[in-house]
Structure 1
Amino acid sequence: MKFKYVTLFLLAIATILFSCKKTEEVPVPAPLLSINAANVTVAVNTKYPFTSSANGEINYTHEWLLDGKTVSTSNFYVFNPTTAGNYTLMYKASNTTGVFTHTYKIEVPIPVVGATPTSSKYISRIFEYLPAPGQFINEAAVGSLAQAQKLIGNTNNLLTLGAYGGYLIFGFDHSVVNQNGNDLAIYGNPIGGTTPWAEPGIVMVSQDKNGNGLPDDEWYELAGSEYNDPATIKNYEITYTNPKGYANVTWKDNKGNSGAVETNTFHKHNYYPEFAPDQETLTFKGTLLRPSFGKVGSIFVNEAFSWGYTDSWSLGDDYQTNRYNGFDISWAVDKNGKKVDLKTIDFVKVYTAQNDKGNALLGEISTEIKGASDLNIK
């Protein structure tokens, strides 16, 4: 009888203990984070570790989400941004009881190379020279790769960009800061007065967002006076075919038009750039400005636009006094025409913006450039 009571007593104790354990809840995760701040600043191309440590003997799962995408399921994640921007990193710790979350707002600033007392205001590097066909192309004095390099450090030499789309990409030994008024000066060889001769070029700028020192980031157009003109064509595209000799260089565009960069008797050589990577065809894309070629009496002219284009005797930026065209970084727009706020820029691209064959005497409309300078450096 006594044994029976003892057995019942032990069963009762076991039932009580089991019930307590069954009803005991597992604590919600409360991990220890290596970084508790909500806002973090990280330099581009810099490894930045985030870790989570268990608080006691609690087991739970980990998940790190960068801009909504899972990037790690361990207790750590190494953030290594390859481009500037703003990012959101969320950490989640989960178990059967609940979820712990912490969100980081990460800013990766655009790399800036500050100017020093020894910085030059002139071009310091030519990244790419790819002209469209033209009468001066392949001529050493004005249309060659070697001539492009001569624009470094001065504004005394002349380089042609050929017909529509031909371009030059260059940079300085520092980032150009967007200050009040014009920030860039670009030099050409336009003619003013009653018989003007302008060969307008569009200017684009870019920031070194990925910090690699190369112009491989997004480009922004500096919108000039004609940007919103109904006659201005956005997303224009033209393809030139190499004639492999002294002959007209034919072209077709994405508007169903065709034509040619025509030869003349003053330049008897192939007008297609012999140093272009593709010796079959060249395709250029950009914004096309309306033609302004015509006559004043018996004199052929090409009218300048008001402001915002290089190699243009523009009244809007007083070319007669300055002897250069001025550009404000604040004019920058993205590919959709939306204004962008650029504090600094690192690269500049200039390209011929009109598609006009001109005539046999003067040749095609082709932007020329003699150099550039940072107007913030005196």
Structure 2
Amino acid sequence: MKKTFFLNLLAVVCLAISCTKESFNAPTITGVSTDTIVLNIGDKFVLAPSITNLKGNDYKWLVNGKQMAEGQVNYTFDATQPGNFEVVFKINNKGGEDQQSFKILVEKPIVLSIDNQLAVSMCQVLDIVPGVTGPDRSDYDYAWSIGDSVIGRQRNLSFISPVAGTFELKFRATAGKQTVIATRNVTVKAAQYIQNAYMVLEYAPSPAKNFNWAIIGTAEYWKFGDEYKLPYNDFLAKATDIRKNDAGPALVIGSWGGYATFKFDHTVANASGPDMEISAIYSKLDVPAVYVAYDVNKNGKPDDNEWYEIKNDDLGLEDISDYQMTFTYSKTETDSKRIYSYFNWSDNQATPAQGEVVTNKTFTSSMTSDGTFSSRGFFPGLSVTDLTSKQTGLLDGWKNTITRKGKRITCNLTGAPPFLQKLNIDIDLAVDKKGEHVALPGIDFVKVQKVIYPFEQDFINNGGKIVDFNMEEGRMLQVAGILDKRLKN
């Protein structure tokens, strides 16, 4: 009997010891991610780890080493200031202990600052550079708007308006879950400008048969005072003066490669739809290339890195991307009735194409209304300096050898006669040399160049054979007014 009693007592003791050890097994914390929790000021985040073995546990919560709570399984982190935080959860009982860390980043709030006094004259660019401070992120998104219209999506804004008034400008910055908006009024002051790009900065024509370099007006009216045989800089000044008061007079750009560069007295604003209108003589298959430039550094001239092409249907169709033609004045000969002007040309291909152009003019049929001998058919800058002795000379600033460069688009223009028409230009179609879109607030300069190299089927003289028509008078490009369509005055 005693033996049985002791055995039962031993079993009870062993069972008690076994139960005591089981109830104090070491606790384990699970469900804690290693990813950083990103919060903003004002956020509250509940940290709720999973725990095994709950009996007899003590709990502590520490933030950056400082105890913030005890005796609770969950902890609510209150994001009151920016910074990096380590929240440590500690647990222990008689069987052992465990701890896990939560990494929390409270991002800096976005703060925007913009000048209070924003003012600019109409058709001038105001560069607005806001102050932006906030979290160190790479996903910032910006938007500038007036009313419902978004006018910019970069941090800085080049603001321009073709009309006067006061406009409420909103700037929105977004990063992560934060979005902040700042509002400012911008005052646009009234100003007077000339609608036409009247200033001629550069005149670089390419000659052809019966080419008339001295024309500022209608090429067919050379007899009636549209010729201005002047030194180069004087010619630019004269063309500028005439175009300032009248957008009608044209410049003869000539054959392939010829171009002219024009300047507005203001910046043409880039808005929705066509921004400019160019009047020129060309055919439906012979559209000139138009290049535009915004005066970024405000130095008053178009720098090489500021030029962009206006995309049209011909973009990318060039058969030669870097073509050159060099024209060289050769000589002038006269007899009792006629004057003969010669110039040569060649290109830059491996086997150069080349040729000679001869203009044969009678003295009696080449007199203008004021009794001077016309420069029609002469090399650019060449003029009869003394009619009695029939002497010719190259006026100051003009050169006897000129090279024209650019892309060449070879095209059969049979059945597509040139005529005076209007070419609408949308600044939003500006592209760089790679053909990629370029965002411009507006433009100050325009360059118009002949890039189509024309061929035609000559049914009259060659039985329909394809013939080089680049030097033919009827294929010369002429450029007249270049108007700002945004300018209402």
TM-score normalised by the shorter chain: which range applies?
0.5 to 0.7
Distance 1:324 1:271, change over 3 A: same
Q: Equivalent residues in 2 for 1:1-378 (5 A)?
A: 116-134=190-208, 135-140=210-215, 141=226, 145=235, 148-149=239-240, 150-190=242-282, 199-217=286-304, 218-229=306-317, 231-245=318-332, 246-254=341-349, 256-260=351-355, 262-265=357-360, 269-274=377-382, 277=397, 279-294=399-414, 296=415, 301-302=416-417, 323-356=421-454, 358=469, 362-363=472-473, 365-378=475-488
Could you say which structure has the greater relative contact order, defined with CA pairs below 8 angstroms and 6 or more residues apart?
1
Q: Is the 8 A contact 2:259 2:447 kept in 1?
A: yes
User: Which has the larger share of strand?
Assistant: 2
In 1, Cα distance between equivalents of 2:113 and 2:352? 53
Instruction: For residues 14-52 of structure 1, give each alpha carbon's deviation from its aligned partner in whole angstroms, at most 9, with x where no partner exists.
Output: xxxxxxxxxxxxxxxxxxxxxxx999999xxxxxxxxxx
In 2, Cα distance between equivalents of 1:205 and 1:198? 22
Equivalent residue of 2:281, what SS? coil
> Which amino acid letter does the alignment assign opposite residue 253 of structure 1?
N
Equivalent residue of 1:155, what SS? coil
How far the C-alpha of 1:257 sits from its partner, in A, is 3.6
TM-score (norm 2): 0.44
From the CA coordinates, give the structure whose radius of gyration is larger.
2
Number of residue pairs matched by the alignment: 253
- Which residue number corresponds to residue 102 of structure 1? none
How far the C-alpha of 1:161 sits from its partner, in A, is 0.7
How far the C-alpha of 1:126 sits from its partner, in A, is 1.6
Gaps of 5+ in 2: 1-109, 116-126, 130-154, 164-189, 216-225, 230-234, 333-340, 362-374, 383-394, 455-467
Distance 1:363 1:221, change over 3 A: same
In 2, Cα distance between equivalents of 1:269 and 1:225? 33
Q: Is the 8 A contact 2:211 2:473 kept in 1?
A: no
Gaps of 5+ in 1: 1-36, 43-83, 87-106, 191-195, 303-311, 314-318
> Following superposition, which runs of at least 4 residues in structure 1 exceed 6 angstroms of deviation?
37-42, 107-115
Equivalent residue of 2:239, what SS? helix
In 2, Cα distance between equivalents of 1:359 and 1:219? 26
Q: Is the 8 A contact 1:237 1:253 kept in 2?
A: yes
Taking only the aligned residue pairs, the percentage that are identical comes to 24
Distance 1:214 1:113, change over 3 A: farther
How far the C-alpha of 1:367 sits from its partner, in A, is 1.1
Equivalent residue of 1:189, what SS? strand
Q: Is the 8 A contact 2:256 2:470 kept in 1?
A: no
> Which amino acid letter does the alignment assign opposite residue 227 of structure 1?
L
How far the C-alpha of 1:111 sits from its partner, in A, is 9.4
- Which residue number corresponds to residue 75 of structure 1? none
TM-score (norm 1): 0.56
> Which amino acid letter does the alignment assign opposite residue 281 of structure 1?
T
In 2, Cα distance between equivalents of 1:293 and 1:276? 37
Q: Is the 8 A contact 1:215 1:347 kept in 2?
A: yes
In 2, Cα distance between equivalents of 1:268 and 1:372? 25
Q: CA RMSD in A?
A: 3.8
Instruction: For residues 300-347 of structure 1, give each alpha carbon's deviation from its aligned partner in whole angstroms, at most 9, with x where no partner exists.
Output: x44xxxxxxxxx66xxxxx8xxx4110111111112222211121110
